[in-house]
Amino acid sequence: MGKNVNIERNATFGPNVSIDDNSGIGIDCEMYGTVTIGSNVMMGPEVVVYTSSHNYKRTDVPMNQQGLTEEKPVSIGNDVWIGRRAIIMPGVTIGNGCVIGAAALVTHDIPDMCVVGGVPATIIRKRG
């Protein structure tokens, strides 16, 4: 836990979440597993970060009996703004200086200084 960290009400996170200086986790956010949050990160309400999912590959076993996939950590760089209800999927790295639009579904790595949005999230433009 860094300095000057802000955790809003009803935010839920596990012991493997690390957060650097001047960053915050928004109201009703959820994140479990290994999540690394850089410095100066703004996170809107109801952001969800996943580091694993349900197995579904076998067809001879019901999906609810297949367990979870192997954990894939998520990394969020420095000076990032994540909008309300964005969802970040397992294994994603978000670069420094990025803006993640509200309700975006981030399924792949985002390079530094990108503005992304949509389902799935795509690069809208570069900052600077």
Give the mean pLDDT of the chain.
97
- Residue 50 CB neighbours (<10 A): 20
State whether CATH 3.40.640.10 applies to domain 6-126.
Answer: no
| Percent of the chain at pLDDT exceeding 90 | 98
The pLDDT value given to residue 87: 98
The pLDDT value given to residue 101: 98
pTM of the model: 0.94
Q: Using the 8-state DSSP alphabet, how is residue 110 labeled?
A: B
| Active site (catalytic) residues | 54
**Mean pLDDT value across residues 28-55:** 97
Are β-strands 114-117 and 122-126 bridged in parallel, bridged antiparallel, or unpaired? antiparallel
The pLDDT value given to residue 90: 98
The pLDDT value given to residue 36: 98
Q: Return phi, psi of residue 84, to 5°.
A: -50, 135
The pLDDT value given to residue 98: 98
Going by pLDDT thresholds of 50, 70 and 90, the confidence category of residue 65 is: very high
Tens-digit pLDDT profile for residues 84-95: 999 999 999 999
**Measured distance CA(72)–CA(51) in Å, rounded:** 5
Tens-digit pLDDT profile for residues 7-17: 999 999 999 99
Tens-digit pLDDT profile for residues 99-123: 999 999 999 999 999 999 999 999 9
**Measured distance CA(109)–CA(2) in Å, rounded:** 24
**Measured distance CA(67)–CA(39) in Å, rounded:** 34
